[in-house]
Structure 1
Amino acid sequence: MHWDGLFEDLEGQLASEWEAERAALDAESERLRISRIEIRARLRALAAAEAAIALELPAGRLLAGRVVEIGADWLAMAPNPGRGATLVPLTAVRGIRMDHGMLLASLDPTVPASELRERMTFGFVLRDLARRRVPVTIEDLDGCRRHGTIDRAGADHFDLAAHDAGSSRRAQDVLAYVVIAFAAVARIDLEPR
């Protein structure tokens, strides 16, 4: 009888050690999986869930809304219904605020990427805005806001014809022409159509 108790105790210890080792391996496997997740994949999961989030931008500014599109190096947010959209270069994102449930859900990025959309760069989108003559408000990293129309976009900069909000881009209404580096942009607000 004494031996039966000893063997049961040893079996229990062995099972406990195996369980602890399996838990450690599972934890390490999960850490490795998470280490490979890119922020774009998490944003894709948040967009698919239509999650309400707030982007932390430079100088402590927040942009609340829902992610509606994700590109190669940018994202589009819908801040409030009827307010248009906002383009944000990923380099301007300092953080993403959300509730804990969405934080955990964004770690499971099973939403497939849109091959074409996610190859579109920030410059590609700005060239399209220039082609369509969409009035925009540019906010730079320092919080300076300029309203105008993008005339053309290069590889790492764009030309803005600054004019008053609500007015069209007519030569007589242009207040200044400004060359703006992509790296200086915190956000671009598009007027609703």
Structure 2
Amino acid sequence: MRWDALFADLEAQLAGASLAMQEAEVSERHRTDFAAVELTDRLRSQTGRHLKVQVGLPGVFSGELRHVGSGWVVLEGERQSAVVSLEHAVFIEGMDRFSTVAAPLVRLGLASAVRGLSRDRSPVRVFPACQKPDAAVDGSIDRVGRDFLELSVTPRGEPRRPANVLAVYTVPLHAVAAICLMH
């Protein structure tokens, strides 16, 4: 009888150790797999969720995640849509802990995303990185180069007409935290 108990105990210990080793392998594999996930991949799986993106001094941009590009996201809010540069993102709130089947990656860079706003002559508000929100500039994007944009500055809420243009700024894209399209 003692032998039966001893062998049963040894078998239970072996099974427990085997299960613990399998769990450790699964856990390590999960950590290794997750280590290869990039932020844009993680964001793509969050399409349709309401996110808040903190971009330093300009503040928080929030809305439904609509598009993820190479280094940027589009958040659709009630009063505005924002193209937010991930280069200046400090915190992102609202993502779930699990990834679903990811939406296709839009491989367009920030310049390509901004060209659409330029083509439409949409009134925008440009938020420079490392500046307070009151440093934002209203206007219309006239042209977009490879790494810069040209903004015709207009009074807030005024359409772009030659008489309304106060100045024309050339803005390096690396200095842009976000560009908001007002609804």
User: Same fold by TM (over 0.5)?
Assistant: yes
How far is the alpha carbon of 1:68 from its aligned partner?
Answer: 1.0
Classify the secondary structure of the residue corresponding to 1:58: coil
Task: Report the more deviating stretch, 181-190 or 36-45.
Answer: 36-45
Q: Does 1:94 align with 2:97?
A: no
Question: Structure 1 regions of 5+ residues with no counterpart?
Answer: none
What SS does structure 2 have at the residue aligned with 1:30?
Answer: helix
Residue aligning to 2:177? 186
Query: Is residue 2:148 matched to residue 1:157?
Result: yes
Unaligned runs of 5+ in 2: none
Cα distance in structure 1, aligned partners of 2:84 and 2:8: 62
Give the one of 136, 156, 162 matched to 1:171.
Answer: 162
Q: Deviations over 1:134-170 (max 9, x none)?
A: 1110011112110011111111111111011222222
Find the aligned partners of 2:157 and 2:2 in 1 and give their Cα distance.
91
Q: Return closer, same or farther for 1:168/1:139 CA change in 2, 3 Å cut-off.
A: same
C-alpha displacement at 1:126, in angstroms? Answer: 1.6
Equivalent AA in structure 2 for residue 68 of structure 1: R
Distance 2:18 2:175 in 1: 54
CA distance in 2, matches of 1:55, 1:93: 6
Shifted more, 175-184 versus 52-61: the winner is 52-61
Q: Report the AA paired with residue 33 of structure 1.
A: D
CA distance in structure 2 between the partners assigned to 1:62 and 1:162 by the alignment? 23
Looking at structure 2, the residues matched to 51 and 169 of structure 1 have their Cα atoms a distance apart, in angstroms, of 33
Runs (4 or more) in structure 1 with deviation over 6 Å come to: none
Q: Which residue of structure 1 aligns with residue 113 of structure 2?
A: 125
* Deviation, structure 1 residue 7: 0.9
* 2:96 aligned residue (103, 111, 118): 103
| Matched AA of 2:3 | W
Distance, in Å, in 2 between the alignment partners of 1:132 and 1:60 is 25
Q: Say what the alpha-carbon RMSD is for the aligned residues.
A: 1.5
8 A Cα contact 1:160 1:178, kept in partner = yes
Instruction: Identify the residue that residue 10 of structure 2 maps to in structure 1.
Output: 10
Contact (CA 8 Å) 1:87, 1:188: kept in 2 or not?
yes
Question: Contact (CA 8 Å) 2:138, 2:153: kept in 1 or not?
Answer: yes
* Number of residue pairs matched by the alignment: 180
Q: How far does residue 60 in structure 1 lie from its aligned partner after superposition?
A: 7.2
CA offsets 1:79-98 (integer angstroms, 9 cap, x no match):
22xx1311101112111112
TM-score, with structure 2 as normaliser? 0.91
1: CA distance between counterparts of 2:64 and 2:116?
A: 22
Between the aligned partners of 1:60 and 1:129, the Cα distance in structure 2 is: 20
1:27–1:90 Cα change, 3 Å: same
Distance 1:120 1:63, change over 3 A: same
Relative distance call for 1:53 and 1:178 in structure 2 (3 A) is: same
> What is the TM-score of this pair, normalised by structure 1?
0.87
Partners of 2:75 and 2:83 within 8 A in 1: yes
CA distance in 2, matches of 1:130, 1:2: 84
Is the 8 Å Cα contact of residues 41 and 109 (structure 1) preserved in structure 2? no
Work out the CA distance in 2 between the residues paired with 1:140 and 1:70. Answer: 20
